[in-house]
Amino acid sequence: MTWGAAGLVLLLVGQGPAMAEADRMYADRRYAEAVERYLALLQEDPENPGARLRLGASLLQLGRPEEAIPHLEIAERVAPGDPAILQVLGQACLGAGRFAAAAARFRRLLENTPDDPGVLRHLGVCQYQLGDFEASATSFRSALSSQPENTRALTGLGMSLNSLERPDEARPVLEKAVELAPSDRMARLALARSLGDLGEFLRADELLRALTAEGPEDWEAWYFLAVLRFRNSYHEQALEAFDRCLTLRPGHPETRILRFRSLVKLGRLPEAGAVRQELSGDPEVANDPEFLLGHAEYSFQTGDLATALARIDEALVRRPRSGMLHHWKARILHHSGETAAAQAEAERAVALAPDLREPRGLLVRLYQLQGKESEAAAQIEWLRTRERAVARGSRR
Amino acid sequence: MDTGRTSRIAPAGLLLLAWCPSVLAGSILLEEISREAGLEFVLSNGATGDFSQVELMPAGIAALDYDGDGCTDVFFANGAALPSLVKEGPRFHNRLFRNNCDRTFTDVTEKAGLAGQGYSMAVAAADYDNDGAADLFVAGVHASFLYRNRGDGTFEDVTEKAGLAATGPEQSRMWSISAGWLDYDNDGWLDLFVSNYVRWDAQTEPRCGSPGYRTYCHPDLFPGLPNQLFHNRGDGTFSDVSSASGVASQVGKGMGVAFADYDGDGFTDVFVANDSVRHLLFANQGDGTFVERAFEAGVALDENGVPIAGMGADFRDLDNDGRPDLVVAGMASDSFQLFRNRGDERLYFDDHTVQSGLEVATLRLTGWSLGAYDLDNDGWKDLFFATSHFPRLERYVGRSELPNHVFRNQGEARFRDVSTEAGAGFQVSGHHHGAAFADFDGDGRVDVVVNALNAPARLFRNVTADAGHWIAFALTGVSSNRDGLGATVRVTLPDGRTLHNHATTSVGYACSSEPLVRFGLGAADRVEAVEIRWPSGRVQRLRALVANRVVEVTEPREDGAGEQP
């Protein structure tokens, strides 16, 4: 999910007739002409922070944040701490994807106005993009304390919580966002994700269907829909959605990989085999752990356990702490008759991902095959406990 | 004794071929003949657009010879109006069709007195009172019924008299979905096992889906129920031993139930497929009690520790090693399961789904009833599944109506989907649920009757052109229960190979199939030896039997040959 740059409203105070004329153009949204005027002014007075600021803002409005940044940096050097410059520079950096630089400016702003909800939201966006979801959740929460119904802050908080794998907390936040802004695309996408993570497949599916119907070219909505279906094992329908994604964004690596995995899951092995060959030759995809897992699944289904094992080992080099990959390795080893090695891998998977039931289910068998009854009993007890929790409805 | 039924003799050249499925690799052909046969029945589920869970689940079929004429008849359980659960008119009546022994059937429901009451789900047929006539237990939503066959073409509702009427609020809330007859204590009288699904109440049933797309709820939203076991006292009455036997100690969401002696201890064990929670395997301790050992035996979950939405089940030896294996149907995205019995008490069952070829081949299917029968008589049991998705699942799986599916055993429990080769009539789609198995036309090839929600039932006559030789055993117990249910039969072919099967009517989902013990013999036109282990513990040995006939066998008074048929 991507964040757009927020609109800019500058408090314009002209300095002389030339500056006033340029500002009028800016106010009239004639940004290209404004740029020319500000550049002309800067020919005469290169250090003029006001002109640099206005030039940067105009470029930002024209969707050219990278060009805006050098001008704004000059302005910042000349007038350090100026809130308007920090604000616009922060937004330019945000627009250019320089999230750490943007965050630094927003933090500076917050030193003086710690409760500014707009700045908090912008900081939250930067933190989210930098992958610091705890921090972004905190920033969005702070923004909401003064603007509890701000849908952008609600959406940001929901997205942060989704990324923190706390969909149960994200869901009510995002439901509120959607209630306040029923057509907010990003809020609906984020809500669909929480619902999907909570096992509410039908509602998630419906939200995403509506988004794809409203925006048939909305690649992101199609992708979310495809992934939701893939994760819920509706592979036939996932495949259709992945195909749609690829018409909208040809060559998208994740889509191609998951489409391949759908083909394997559907047992369309000859077709999957052809796709596998094509993807194996694409350096952008060939070493992706997700593709390697798909390749292993394909080889497993075609009975080529040696290749399946080799691919899983390659995937593990890249993602050594993946419980699911270790489980797959254990499964392949089990089918290869290597019970002890399979046990070791399954135990590794449990250690890395204690909530994953797959390796525990396999471990029961592996222990039993070796007469390790007490070890098997411990795993059985875990599976029973989980089943009781599901029966009580905790999964929902 | 030869019953004189039609025998099919294979072409002479076939006899020279080795006993190998690849040699007899012709297509299994199933011809749909319900209309010509006069088997006209529509299963009415009473759906009103309220997406009641009940309407998703019916209903059972029984293949039984109720009039003892040697030709297998058909009983259909039927739904009722919702939410009243009342059979408001003939369209909801259960139906009994008499086989006229000429490939046609006559509706004899009224004369037999079997129109029934309530919302019927399942049927279990067997001779519980050892009088030589097949009786019927019809399980349903909040009420089940036992019909005793009077032997004159009519049935008597003996539910109350037998002690099977609901005796309290708990029982009256049972939603029974499958049932089966077994002699769990080998006392010569058939006992009744009832598989119960979930607690359901029309008034409080949750509504699911979204305002824009209502649909059926996931079973997670309903509390599960324990199963029930009723001990046959031998005097026409039953005692509820659900708690005393240990059966009631486990709460599941019971679907199909299947019986076999998986551990070879001489006592019949019980497998219950469950919907979205782990399956149950009740290991018979031989002292009137059961211990639930699905986890320990390796059949609770799939290889990955994941429960499936289990549907029907059959407990048969699929790889001819003498040990009953398990096949379980599931829902789309589950894959059906095949558990192979290893005969090792450390871990009895391997999850053989991947190796069997079923994992990928069934991932897109939802299966209901099923049966493991050697449809081409090549010596390996094949698999038939009644298949269809839930209505309303179209959005996610394409069409919810599906053709049924048949998988040919290529040897050693490796299966190939041969559905598309099974004939044009077999490709008909529907919301197929029940399936019962019998050789309705007496030609030695197992036929299948299938029902479908709100659509005509299908009768698939097996017309496989190059089917092998066969033999079937109609057992009559003396010390054992009269139907011989639970008896295991091993036949030895001239080349020394052995085949195994056992007597049960509890096959698939909510259904009941013929009690005969059948074998496809491939190219062999005789069997060298037969060993029958009766539930009483007696072992009977027969020699040199000619193929292509039903052999009637009566349990001997003592171990040994008994009367050579």
Q: What is the pLDDT of residues B306-355, one digit of tens each?
A: 899 999 999 999 999 999 999 999 998 889 999 999 999 889 999 999 99
Mean pLDDT to the nearest integer, B375-395: 93
Backbone angles phi and psi of B43, in degrees to 5: -80, 115
Q: How confident is the model at residue A387 (pLDDT cuts 50, 70, 90)?
A: confident
Dig out the tokens for B71 from the structure.
């030709």
Residues 6+ apart with CB under 8 A from B192: B124, B128, B137, B164, B179, B180, B181, B229, B230, B232, B238
* Nearest-angstrom CA–CA distance, B506 and B254: 14
How far out from the chain centre does Cα B431 lie? 18
Instruction: Give CA separation, B91 vs B9, B43, B118, B380, B431, in Å.
Output: 43, 8, 13, 40, 18
**Residues facing residue B193 across a β-bridge:** B180, B229
Q: A18: pLDDT confidence band, cut at 50, 70 and 90? A: confident
pLDDT classification of B147: cutoffs 50, 70, 90: very high
B184-205 pLDDT, tens digit each: 999 999 999 999 999 999 999 9
Range from A104-113, B257-266, B394-403, B475-484 carrying the lowest mean pLDDT = B394-403
Phi, psi of B540 (to 5 degrees): -120, 135
Report angle CA A322, A328, A330 to the nearest 5 degrees: 105
What pLDDT score does A5 carry? 37
Radius of gyration from C-alpha coordinates of chain A: 27
d(CA B155, CA B147): 6
pLDDT at position A357 is 92
Supply the pLDDT for residue B94.
98
Q: Is the dihedral of CA A43, A48, A49, A53 positive or negative?
A: negative
Tell me the residue type at A27.
A
Average pLDDT over residues B429-449: 98
Q: Does any CB of chain B come closer than 8 Å to the CB of residue A232?
A: yes
pLDDT in tens, B456-488: 999 999 999 999 999 999 999 999 999 999 999
Taking the C-alpha atoms of residue A299 and residue A280, their distance in angstroms, rounded to an integer, is 13
Can you give the pTM of this predicted structure? 0.86
Runs of H (alpha helix) within B358-401: 358-362, 394-397
**What residue type is assigned to position B559 of the chain?**
D
Q: Does B291 touch chain A (CB under 8 A)?
A: no
Answer whether residue B9 shows pLDDT above 90.
Answer: no
A395–B208 CB contact, under 8 Å: no
DSSP state of B42: B
> What's the pLDDT tens digit per position in B410-431?
998 999 999 999 999 999 999 9
Long-range Cβ contact pairs of A42-46 (< 8 A, separation 24 or more): A46/A74
| Fold (CATH) for A113-198 | 1.25.40
Core vs surface per residue A155-185: b (16+ CB within 10 A) or e: bbbbbbbbbeebbebbbebbbbbbeebeebb
Q: Dump pLDDT digits (tens) for A206-232.
A: 999 999 999 999 999 999 999 999 998
Mean predicted confidence (pLDDT) in B246-261: 96
- Which residue from A336, A325, A387 is spatially nearest to A366, judged by alpha carbons? A336
A193/B contact by beta carbon, under 8 A? no
Q: How far apart are CA B136 and CA B231, in angstroms?
A: 16
Q: How much is the average pLDDT of B10-38? A: 63
* Model pLDDT, residue B13: 34
**Which of A43-47, B211-215, B374-378 has maximum average pLDDT?**
B374-378
How large is the average pLDDT for residues B100-107?
97
User: Is B354 part of the contact surface with chain A (CB cutoff 8 Å)?
Assistant: yes
One-letter amino acid of B22: S
User: Does residue B185 belong to the interface with chain A, where contact is any CB pair within 8 Å?
Assistant: no
**Greater model confidence, B498 or A237:** B498
The stretch B533-548 carries a mean pLDDT of: 96
Predicted local confidence at residue A12, as pLDDT: 47
pLDDT of residue B393: 79
Residues 6+ apart with CB under 8 A from B82: B46, B47, B48, B50, B52, B54, B55, B119, B202
Selection from B310, B445, B314 nearest residue B371 by Cα:
B314
Q: Of the candidates B75, B64, B232, B126, which has an alpha carbon nearest to the alpha carbon of residue B482?
A: B126
pLDDT at B559 over 80: no
In DSSP terms, which residues pair with B443 in a beta bridge?
Answer: none
Give the nearest partner residue to A362 out of B209, B303, B364, using CB atoms: B303
Mean predicted confidence (pLDDT) in A329-348: 97
**Inter-chain touch B397–A234, beta carbons under 8 Å:** yes
Distance CA(B284)–CA(B292), nearest Å, equals 9
Contact B306 A362 (CB under 8 A): no
| Residue B398 dihedral angles phi and psi, to the nearest 5° | 85, -145
Which H/E stretch holds residue B124?
strand B120-126
Q: What is the C-alpha radius of gyration for chain B, rounded to an integer number of angstroms?
A: 21
**A331 close to B (CB below 8 A):** yes
Which of B209, B224, B346 lies closest to A202 in CB terms? B209
Please name the fold of domain A15-106.
1.25.40
Would you list the domain boundaries of chain A?
15-106, 113-198
A15-106 shares its CATH topology with A113-198: yes
Nearest-10 crossing angle of helices A269-280, A289-301: 140
Residue-wise pLDDT tens digits, A40-53: 999 988 989 999 99
